[in-house]
Amino acid sequence: MARASAALEVAQPVAARSSGRHWPLRRRKNVQGEAEMLMPLWLSRLVVAVTVVVVVVPLGYMVLMSFTPNNDVALGTISSAVLTVSNYVHMWSDAPLAQGLVNTLIIAGSSAALSVAVGLLAAYPLTRFVFRGRRGYLYTLIGVQTVPGTTLLLPLFAVFSWAQTTLSVHMIGTYFPIILTYMTFGVPLSTWLLVAYLRSVPRELDEAALVDGCSHLGALWRVLFPVALPAVVVAFVFAFLVGWNDVLFASVFTNQSTQTLAIALERFSATSESTGLPVYGELMSAAVVSSLPVVIIYLIFQRYLVHGLAAGSTTG
């Protein structure tokens, strides 16, 4: 692997340049070498301020309501003088949030990991070989992404019902159909992101690995995978969000024991409204808890997300 290692060291600056890490975000150099503003300074500050307000105000109001007693929220008297953590204590017993959180992590995480694995295995031959049907396959992936998800609900349910009856295997209500359903959306997106990134990676990397005795799969895993890690992280996060935010498919393909966090929140909301006094404070605390895993994932992989998206946007 000596040649592959040497080629990897040479290609790292190329991958760094393709990831956009050395590109200024607000300034660029013109032909004369002078720094030119992409927009006036006052306008850029105004855009940032408006964006912060639009994002922070609703989130801050949700967090404030999560610490406010249910009676005060229902009456519209929200004040920082009566903050309490009782909502975060009672919500775990009033709604099956813990079970829904575990099921969502299993379903969304498994579907995202499998989508990235399939997308990487598909992106490698699409960027390294020329074969009949290659362009048609890429266009098919675009076509799949343009199909509304609601139109696939009935066909997928019919397929799983037929397979369940034919094979005499219980499927609907287990993890398998919902994971496979989310993969129908995660695989095309992951493939396109990884194809865009691998196009910027020099072919000398895997060629050197092949000369050193690696197979194509070995070159993909040992050489290209570390280089394409930013794009892999981006594909994983996007595929993870497909399963994390879904309500439609989860309401059909899951049951009481496999329901996701979104379904648990929906049923908790419907139950609280039918009891007379809605527990809006507990609903807001449940919403805060349900959003924390995604926020944590973004914070952990922020560097990879920025690099992966920048590299994918600069490749043709």
pLDDT in tens, 108-135: 999 999 999 999 999 999 998 888 888 8
Report CA dihedral (155, 157, 163, 169) to the nearest 10 degrees. 170
In terms of phi and psi (left: phi > 0; alpha: psi -120 to 50; beta: otherwise), the region of 292 is alpha
Is the pLDDT score of 47 beyond 80?
A: yes
The backbone torsions φ and ψ at residue 306, rounded to the nearest 5 degrees and listed phi first, read -65, -45
Is residue 43 assigned to a domain? no
Is residue 61 assigned to a domain? no
With cut-offs at 50, 70 and 90, classify the pLDDT of residue 275. low
Is residue 80 assigned to a domain? no
Is residue 224 assigned to a domain? yes
Kindly give, in sequence order, each residue whose CB lies less than 8 Å from that of residue 176, ignoring residues fewer than 6 positions away: none
Is residue 44 assigned to a domain? no
pLDDT of res. 307 = 67
With cut-offs at 50, 70 and 90, classify the pLDDT of residue 81. low
pTM score, whole prediction: 0.77
Which of residues 78 and 316 earns the better pLDDT score? Answer: 78
Which of residues 7 and 305 earns the better pLDDT score? Answer: 305
Query: Residue 37 belongs to what H/E stretch?
Result: strand 35-37
pLDDT in tens, 153-196: 999 999 999 999 998 888 899 999 999 999 999 999 999 889 98
Domain that holds residue 141: 2-24+85-314
Is residue 232 assigned to a domain? yes
3-state helix, strand, coil in the chain (%, to 5): 75, 5, 20
Kindly give, in sequence order, each residue whose CB lies less than 8 Å from that of residue 206, ignoring residues fewer than 6 positions away: 128, 216, 219, 220, 223, 224
Total domains in the fold of the chain: 1
The CATH code of the domain that includes 164 is 1.10.3720.10
Is residue 76 assigned to a domain? no
With cut-offs at 50, 70 and 90, classify the pLDDT of residue 90. confident
Is residue 233 assigned to a domain? yes
Is the pLDDT score of 48 beyond 80?
A: yes
